[in-house]
Structure formats: C-alpha cells, structure tokens
Amino acid sequence: MALPSDVDNGMMGKPTRTASQLRELLLERIEALPGMAGLETDIHLGGVLWIDGGVGGPNWTVPVLRSRDQHRADIARVIRQAQMEYDLDAD
C-alpha cells in the first residue's frame, strides 16, 4: 500500500516515513530475526532520530544506548537496509 509520501513529487528522493513509522518498521523486521522476538533493543529504548547525513547519506539513525558488545550484525543490517529504503519525514 502506497503512503502519500510515496507519491512522485518530481524529486528523485527516497520515500519518507515519520520517526514512529520507521520505529515500527524496524521493530517488525528485527523481531522477525531468529531469537529476537520480545528482546529489548536500542530501537525500543531510543527510537529513530534525525541526523544531517550529508549528501546521499541517511537522514536518520538509531541512537546507541546499550553497550556496544551487545550489538548484533543482523540488527545493524536491518537498520542500514531501512536507511537505504526510507528517509525520515522532515515534519
């Protein structure tokens, strides 16, 4: 289902999502990973924040709130994939 932000507005940018929508999307994808259902992550704790990613870079991130030794490569891949797919809505 296309959201209003997916409609071509004459710009070649990525579709946008609100921080809340991105958080929910990430949680769905992460909880689908083996062994992750119900476990707390930085996304649960900090959500999605806007950043100035520069030209071509992502305009949002997930803040690091837990010890780096608890981070998983599969979760990082989920976040990077979503950053390539969606921009954070500026509103």
Q: What is the pLDDT of residue 13?
A: 81
pLDDT class for 28, splitting at 50, 70, 90?
very high
71-82: b or e for each residue (b if 16 or more CB lie within 10 Å)? eeeebeebbeeb
Of 85, 86, 64, the C-alpha closest to 75 is: 64
pTM: 0.82
Sorting pLDDT into bands at 50, 70 and 90, what band is 67? Answer: confident
CB 40 within 8 A of CB 75: no
pLDDT at 3: 54
pLDDT band at 26 (very low <50, low <70, confident <90, very high): very high
